[in-house]
Chains A and B, each alone.
Chain A
Amino acid sequence: MSPEIIRLIVQSTIDTLYMVALAVGFGTLVGLPLGIFLATGGKGELLALPGLRSALGFIANATRSTPFIILVVAIIPFTRLVAGTSIGTSAAVVPLTVAAIPFIARLIEAAIREVDHGLVEAARAMGATPLQIVRKVLIPEAMPGIVLGLTLAIVNLIGFSAIVGVVGGGGLGDLGIRYGYQRFMPEVMLAVVVVLIVLVQGVQSAGDLLSRRLNKRNRQTS
């Protein structure tokens, strides 16, 4: 492989990491509170705003059921509004984030719902406010699950990021298609796939390790 190609692979890896990191960052910023609300906003639950919860749940489902490639194209006006342009790696962060929010929200909702209801009851009996229950009970107790969910989100977004090449998004997927496929350079394709495998493995292992560290539930009785 020529130094030029290696430089391209390095640059594409950086682009991918940049897009995924920003999308996961912004996605979590919105997805975490949204997920907590989805988990606690139902009838008779902690935050009990069932109407709002249904509406947000519907929006989350609608976003998630739209194929990503369609989403990318459909929200171009919104992307232009936010990023100032609809083309390029930075602009690609917008559709990635939009896709990441409901995905992360649902994963966090699932993690929060895993928390034993008895803990919420105990906290209520102590006179905790709903916000205190979220902050001091639900989030810390759900943390191992939240970390695993975010790991899954990162892995998925690495996959999604390959598609944003259609709006000039750059990154490893784009490189693989343009050089590996269109210019018929199978070694580039192979290199891209290897880098992706290493990335995904690394993210997954790190996520698993962190989640295990945070999980105090299965410690041995000493």
Chain B
Amino acid sequence: MNAPVTLTALTGHALPADALIRFENAGKSYASRGEAAEVTALRNVDLSIRTGSIMGVIGRSGAGKSTLIRLVNGLEKPTSGRVLFDDVDIGTLEGGKLRQAQRSIGMIFQHFNLLSSRTAFENVALPLEIAGARSDEIKSRVEALLELVGLTDKRDRYPAELSGGQKQRVGIARALATKPKALLSDEATSALDPETTRSILDLLGTVNRELGVTILLITHEMSVIRAIADEVAVLDAGNVVEHGNVYDVFTQPKHEVTQSFFANDAGRQLPAWLKGKLTPERVAGGQTVIRITFRGAYANEAVLSKLTRDLQIDVNIISGTIDTISGKPFGWVIAGIPADADVAKALDYLTRQGLGAEVLGHVA
């Protein structure tokens, strides 16, 4: 539709680095009722979302995610800085010009926001009716969209007769009705079970790849970002505290807020039972606890068995994750090695293999 399928297929997501959506020092504060001070929802946000890419914004509730996404389609206006969509300053548009721009930005919602009085077909038709499309155009377009989201057989069902996943599919079809360049996803999978979430994310991926629609999604779940996003921005108290491609942020989270999103991943943090027992001094006859970080190609090597073979150091794996993000392997292993082993040599060996290695402490 907007970007040819083949181009996206050839270049992956690395389309020319032109940004479809650009936050330039954008901020938003609200006058708070009864108080002199303003409430600041967003502060000095600089963010670019490349045409054809998927950007995930993660943050806890109240971090300013909703405000951020609403600045893009003009549902809210920035109080400082500006937000550009397709090189147009959305915040300055009014009336018909704003509505015209809004038609090139689709949006899906956590609670779907489908009209209960309209069938699936009629819900998808709504944006087209609003845009003043002819009824034969509406019919063919809506039918194509329902087919795209796999709901052709549900066209005459009301939302109350559909499951959560089906409702979100209707939501996606509706958001795509006016052939938008971008799709904004406001916690679109937060009300869905994991399996349905997976299928909705797959659908969003298809929309991105095959229709070339740029996606900006906000979520509080890292698993969503990881499943679909190319880039991630971490939002905390109205500030973008970390931003980068998903692989880098996932494998080397710098900000503590980012790290806290991974707190439950095995291998990232010490298991609770071990945390209390760790001491900074070496314990004779005990173990030294180390964390080994695997990134990129090295995650495929049989490093731990080599460590045992080459250095005769036994490795006791305590906790760990080896996984793939954006098609590249990564992982962490927390392991114990005998306290009387040559720890420095082991760390040196691991580092030479291209892994990250650090001592976390000692345990009896």
Q: Which residues of A contact B102 (CB under 8 A)?
A: 124-127
Residue of B nearest to A222 (CB): B161
Contact with A along B90-105 (1 / 0, CB 8 A): 0000000011111101
Could you tell me how many residues of chain B have their Cβ less than 8 Å away from some Cβ of chain A? 31
Question: When A127-B103, A140-B118 are in contact, do A116 and B158 touch as well, CB less than 8 Å?
Answer: no
Question: When A127-B100, A219-B158, A222-B161 are in contact, do A137 and B127 touch as well, CB less than 8 Å?
Answer: no
Q: Does B227 contact A (CB under 8 A)?
A: no
Q: Does A122 contact B (CB under 8 A)?
A: yes
Q: Which residues of A contact B101 (CB under 8 A)?
A: 127
Q: Does B168 contact A (CB under 8 A)?
A: no
A123 to B127, CA, bound (A): 8
B160 touches A126 (CB 8 A): no
Contact with A along B281-316 (1 / 0, CB 8 A): 000000000000000000000000000000000000
Q: Does A118 contact B (CB under 8 A)?
A: yes
Q: Which residues of B contact A122 (CB under 8 A)?
A: 107, 109, 113
- Please indicate which of the listed interface residues A127, A143, A214, A220 has the most CB atoms of chain B within 10 Å of its own CB: A127
Q: Does B279 contact A (CB under 8 A)?
A: no
Q: Which residues of B contact A220 (CB under 8 A)?
A: 160-161
B113 touches A118 (CB 8 A): yes
Q: Which residues of B contact A116 (CB under 8 A)?
A: 111, 113
A141 to B116, CA, bound (A): 7
Q: Does A80 contact B (CB under 8 A)?
A: no
A143 to B115, CA, bound (A): 12
Chain A min CB distance to B213 (Å): 15
Tell me which of A121, A128, A141, A214 contacts B99 (CB under 8 A): A128
Q: Does B10 contact A (CB under 8 A)?
A: no
A217 touches B160 (CB 8 A): yes
Q: Does A221 contact B (CB under 8 A)?
A: yes
Q: Does A132 contact B (CB under 8 A)?
A: yes
Q: Which residues of B contact A129 (CB under 8 A)?
A: 99
B116 touches A217 (CB 8 A): yes
- Please indicate which of the listed interface residues A118, A126, A140 has the most CB atoms of chain B within 10 Å of its own CB: A126
A125 touches B107 (CB 8 A): yes
A125 to B107, CA, bound (A): 7
A222 to B158, CA, bound (A): 11
Residue of B nearest to A218 (CB): B160
Chain B min CB distance to A147 (Å): 12
Q: Does A183 contact B (CB under 8 A)?
A: no
Question: When A219-B158, A219-B160, A219-B161 are in contact, do A126 and B117 touch as well, CB less than 8 Å?
Answer: no
Chain B min CB distance to A211 (Å): 12
Contact with B along A186-222 (1 / 0, CB 8 A): 0000000000000000000000000000101111111
Residue of B nearest to A128 (CB): B130
Residue of A nearest to B95 (CB): A129
Chain B min CB distance to A121 (Å): 7
Q: Does B178 contact A (CB under 8 A)?
A: yes
Q: Which residues of B contact A124 (CB under 8 A)?
A: 75, 102
Within 8 A of A (CB), among B154-200: 157-163, 178, 184
A141 to B103, CA, bound (A): 22
- A sample of 6 more A-B contacts (CB under 8 A), given A116-B113, A216-B116, is A125-B73, A125-B107, A127-B98, A127-B130, A140-B115, A222-B161
Question: 10 tightest A-B contacts by CB?
Answer: A127-B99, A127-B102, A122-B113, A118-B113, A219-B160, A216-B158, A125-B107, A126-B127, A140-B117, A217-B116
Listed A/B pairs (26) with beta-carbon separation below 8 Å: A116-B111, A116-B113, A118-B113, A121-B75, A121-B113, A124-B75, A125-B75, A125-B184, A126-B127, A126-B130, A126-B131, A127-B100, A128-B99, A132-B130, A140-B117, A141-B115, A141-B116, A214-B117, A217-B116, A217-B160, A218-B160, A219-B158, A221-B160, A221-B161, A221-B162, A222-B161
